[in-house]
Structure 1
Amino acid sequence: MQVLSLTLKGFRGIHDGLGRDELSLDFERLADGAELVAIACANGRGKTTVMDNMHPLC
């Protein structure tokens, strides 16, 4: 499975870290054909929240 986009709403890690209630990531546009993508920023900005939610719902 390849994740193409991710939208997070109402997550405390995103709100506390970025001051936003919603975060949308379009991995097709961000990666631009890359096989490996790094998510980097300061501590407490929501990286773990993004990674924890990059799996399908069971």
Structure 2
Amino acid sequence: MVAINGKDYAAAGKNLASVLTEMKYDFRTIAVEINEEIVSKKFYEETILNDGDVVEVVSFVGGG
């Protein structure tokens, strides 16, 4: 299992980009951290999630 924003998902073995797409995240407005390390957007496709990984996805919103 992979913890994504505090919830467990069966995402081990999948690449980060496919998981984020399944979860309907807009890549343009997020930042992702895996095991306390920020992942550059250019590596989303090649980053494979492993059992026990802790993923945090932060969305940016505009406002005033």
With the shorter chain as reference, the TM-score category is: under 0.3
Q: Of Structure 1 and Structure 2, which has the larger fraction of its residues in helix?
A: 1
TM-score by length of 2: 0.27
TM-score by length of 1: 0.28
Q: Of Structure 1 and Structure 2, which has the larger fraction of its residues in strand?
A: 2
Considering Cα pairs closer than 8 Å and 6+ residues apart, tell me whether 1 or 2 has the greater RCO.
2
